[in-house]
Structure 1
Amino acid sequence: MTKSEGIRPLKGPTTTPQSPAGTQPAAAGLTGIALVVVLTGYALSIVDASIVNVALTSISDDLHGGPAALELVVSGYGLTYALGLVLGGRLGDAFGRRRLYACGLAAFTLTSALCGAAPTIEFLVAARLLQGAAAAMLVPQVLATIQAATAGQARARAIGLYGATAALGMVVGQILGGLLVSLDVAGMGWRSVFAINVPIGVAALLAVRRVPATRAGARPGFDPVGTVLFGVTMVCVLAVVVAGPDLGWPLWLWALLVAAAVGAVALARTERALEARGGSPLLSPSVLSHPGMRRGLAAVVPFSAGFGAFLFVYALVAQGHFGFDGLASGAVLSPFAVAFFVVTLFTPRIAAALGGRIVTLGALVQGTGVLLLALVVRLGWPHPSLVLVCVGIAFFGVGAALTGPTLFRMILADVPSAQAGMGSGVLVTSQQMATALGATVGGTLYVSVAGALSTVSAAVCVLALLACFSVTVLVISLKLPDPG
């Protein structure tokens, strides 16, 4: 990205309504270099969610970890990541987003080194938990900085690249992990999948001064009751999502959903009362009540759930039935990544022409890709055409590129700059939770149908579920406002 192509500074006064947290100081603008710096940290957090998957066998052989410990190596990162996102965003609003981003990136780089040097499986699990917490500190600052330092087409381009980074990161994690393990760089084996983060993280830290320093004009207060209630609610939900498939969905596990519902109700009442008294709630009810955020989040949930189910079940089919290794299965996903990246470059222009109907178009294209995949798999099993599979995956990527970044813009459009961190934390938390839920639901459906009927029937059933998710997004899109 050349300097002339960078994200231009925001000029003139903002018309965004102000919050009780105070007025946002004028940002210096988000240059192309600054955008690359913040997206680098975000890319590392995304890649590390999947890069370890292809190294689990090597980790088990080296550190003698059992299935439960290996599950924690994968899910432990996601747990602390999802738990800390809202708090991380709120801390960025209070203490400065660049400062929190730098601290989070430094912690992520350090914990990556600890993961790579882990002498035991217990040490690796602990380091992964800390790595997820570090990612939760840095990730909300990325969207919050974009929200506070850009506007109009500049913001649309930046959020489009943010979405492309997420999509590319998930695919690159699969490909890069398989490549590093197979090459056995410097005899490091699986440790290289963590060690690679260190030089990249250090390079980004050296350039972090190029990122504009933004924060709320008045430091928001701390909300201990809301933080505890939010944490309890999230832990209950995550425990069901993560542990359910392995434990066989025992009755006592479902009781956690009741506890989560009680916690959510108590959280809503506590936050409303605190905001009515002029306090600074962790989750501002007035901000969350905006139509753009409320309806946008309602669409993000099925969109992200479908994406999570697709990636998880694709890995099961590609590596389990077709015998692809991590590198090959990731390579087959490259049409998705390429299509997503290319389309995001034109998404702002398409959104300017279609307004909110760009999400409707995206849902239609994505649904078309899913139906094409279902048809190809059903008719071509057990050896479906790889070309047609790639075409279907590319359609899925085009639809995701039209939908995802546009929804992000809609959700954040009504969030005051002073609360951009909180809004970003809510958005990314919803996205992560829905992705994990989609993977769990899709994986459970696939395993259940495959056991009762056949693998091809299971794959088609999951694709039908994805089509239902696309239809849900399409219906919600009919009442979405134009992207801001």
Structure 2
Amino acid sequence: MTSTTAPVAAPTATEAISTTRQRLALASVLMATFMGLLDGSIVTVATPSIQADLRASFGEIQFVIAGYTVAYAVGLVTGGRVGDLIGRKRSFVIGVLTFIGMSVLCAIAPTAGMLIAARVLQGLAAAVMLPQVLSIIQVTFTGPARAGAIGIYGATIGLASISGQLVGGALLAANPAGLGWRSLFLINVPIGVAAIVSARATVTESRGGSTRLDLAGASLLGLGLVGLLLPLAIGPAAGWPVWTWAALAAGVLVLAGFAVIQRRLQNTGGAPLVPPRLLAQARFARGLFLVLVFYSGNAGLFLLLAYHLQAGLHFSALGSGAVFAPLGLGFAVASLAGKKLAARYGARVMVAGATLMSLSLAAFVAVVAVAPQQVQALALLPALVVSGIGEGLVAAPLITTVLADVAPADSGAASGVLLTGTQVANALGVAVIGGIFAGVLGSTPDEANTTVAFADYVHATAITGGIVLALAVLTGLVARALRTRH
């Protein structure tokens, strides 16, 4: 019998080269993604060493951490628009090159003041570098290939967020060349150089529809985000002094004024930094709310787990990172698998992931409440693996959902808004969950504080774990609404 199926032509040499080039381009931008997001958390484990070596005050150490995260979040939307204006590839390379330079400056900093300044500049470099990643993926891939690339991007975000404790603890324990905490910054040099070399050869240049940069809007957005994020980053450790509440109120007012001006620019044919039409798209707006709920819960869980392991169970930074590793592994595996599941089942995959998160967090709270101290970390591992799988199933289709209706001309701004949303969510999760934890504990979580009994840590972790569980349930409800409406 003769087959009626037409023969499939073998891929030409040109097509093979194109596919290889796309994969190398993806690897280039993902290396920078991992590097930039890792630097937001890796320094946390080294703060005691930095404080002792540079004779820094507690406030200065807080600014070493907050300086990077706030500068990064403040510059993201503007960085995305810069890529639309002068070219995503060019902006990416400039951002990575500047990030490398600031990493070296951090590593050689002789004083806390110089380290803080270098960290702020490093955060601004990340704000130029990282918004280009999603834009480059959007214009490099189409159809199922784009969904797959975004799935891998989601896995990279999760791994970078979770790996800070493990990578930082491992580098401090290994102490390469006797560099101590300085090695945490120098590790960026080979990664960044490899990303630049590969990107220059494989990434295709692209631009958006912007013809000029809204400098007034960028200034207002920056001031508003500083007013919002700096108090959230510094307030919990500083005891929420009056200035933090004043800054929060001012930040909200400035952001409200920014929104009014952006709408006026759009209505008069101008070029707003954040086009209000983005938030008018139902899928983008609801997806952005889901980003806020999901990532604030994740940030709260990571902080809660770090407190319980290091201050409650007296684990080292490396030991704590090892307990985080199964969660990261589950996240990565589920993110990679989630891209295929999402292509078939759509937003239902996010609902299933949030359900797994909720079940695993309920098990987490139960283990903390009843398991003996000696075996508690081991008993937590199954729940953490399942939680990582659930998070990966949410993260893989989430970014695709948020960006599904975004026009190519607005991809830079949309990427900046999306990444800013994750940073705001992280800050909210850390500030709110950390504040509630300390309030229930009745003391600042501190491994050196022997006046707080383990039973007190159990109580505080169980109570705040219940709040993280509620956020996971809310994640599922919002994802279900997206599934129903789309």
**With structure 1 as the length reference, what TM-score do the two structures score?**
0.91
Shift of 1:255: 3.0
- Residue matched to 1:186: 177
Aligned partners of 1:30 and 1:149 also within 8 Å? no
Does 2:323 align with 1:321? Answer: no
Residues 201-280 of structure 1 mapped to structure 2, 5 A cutoff: 201-216=192-207, 218-280=209-271
1:300-331 deviation line (CA, Å, top 9, x unaligned)? 11100011111112111111111111111111
In structure 2, distance between residues paired with 1:55 and 1:104: 25
Does 2:330 align with 1:305? Answer: no
Aligned partners of 1:363 and 1:403 also within 8 Å? yes
Residue 188 to residue 253, structure 1, CA distance change in 2 (3 Å): closer
In structure 2, distance between residues paired with 1:183 and 1:384: 27
Shift of 1:289: 1.2
In structure 2, distance between residues paired with 1:123 and 1:482: 52
In structure 2, distance between residues paired with 1:224 and 1:190: 37
1:110-156 deviation line (CA, Å, top 9, x unaligned)? 11011111111111111111111111110101111112222222112
- Residue matched to 2:419: 428
1:217-240 deviation line (CA, Å, top 9, x unaligned)? 544322122212211211111122
In structure 2, distance between residues paired with 1:429 and 1:225: 18
1:248-289 deviation line (CA, Å, top 9, x unaligned)? 224453233332232222112111110111111000011221
4+ residue runs of structure 1 moved beyond 6 angstroms?
27-30
Query: 5+ unaligned residues in a row in structure 2: which ranges?
Result: 1-9, 444-454
- Residue matched to 1:51: 42
In structure 2, distance between residues paired with 1:70 and 1:284: 37
- Residue matched to 2:395: 404
In structure 2, distance between residues paired with 1:152 and 1:461: 44
- Residue matched to 1:454: 456
In structure 2, distance between residues paired with 1:446 and 1:418: 43
Shift of 1:457: 1.2
Residue 37 to residue 378, structure 1, CA distance change in 2 (3 Å): same
- Residue matched to 1:42: 33
Pick which of 288-297 and 378-387 moved more.
Answer: 378-387
2:211 match: secondary structure? coil
- AA paired with 2:468? L
In structure 1, distance between residues paired with 2:48 and 2:186: 18
- Residue matched to 2:158: 167
Aligned partners of 2:83 and 2:90 also within 8 Å? yes
**With structure 2 as the length reference, what TM-score do the two structures score?**
0.90
Does 2:127 align with 1:145? Answer: no
- Residue matched to 1:20: none
Query: 5+ unaligned residues in a row in structure 1: which ranges?
Result: 10-26
- AA paired with 1:463? G
Residue 278 to residue 84, structure 1, CA distance change in 2 (3 Å): same
Aligned partners of 2:39 and 2:164 also within 8 Å? yes
Residues 17-32 of structure 1 mapped to structure 2, 5 A cutoff: 31-32=22-23
In structure 1, distance between residues paired with 2:236 and 2:276: 34
1:216 match: secondary structure? coil
Aligned partners of 1:54 and 1:326 also within 8 Å? yes
Residue 457 to residue 30, structure 1, CA distance change in 2 (3 Å): farther
Shift of 1:170: 2.5
Residue 261 to residue 74, structure 1, CA distance change in 2 (3 Å): closer
Pick which of 224-233 and 113-122 moved more.
Answer: 224-233
- AA paired with 1:376? V
Number of paired residues? 461
The partner residue of 2:149 within 158, 165, 174 is 158
1:434 match: secondary structure? helix
Aligned partners of 1:233 and 1:259 also within 8 Å? yes
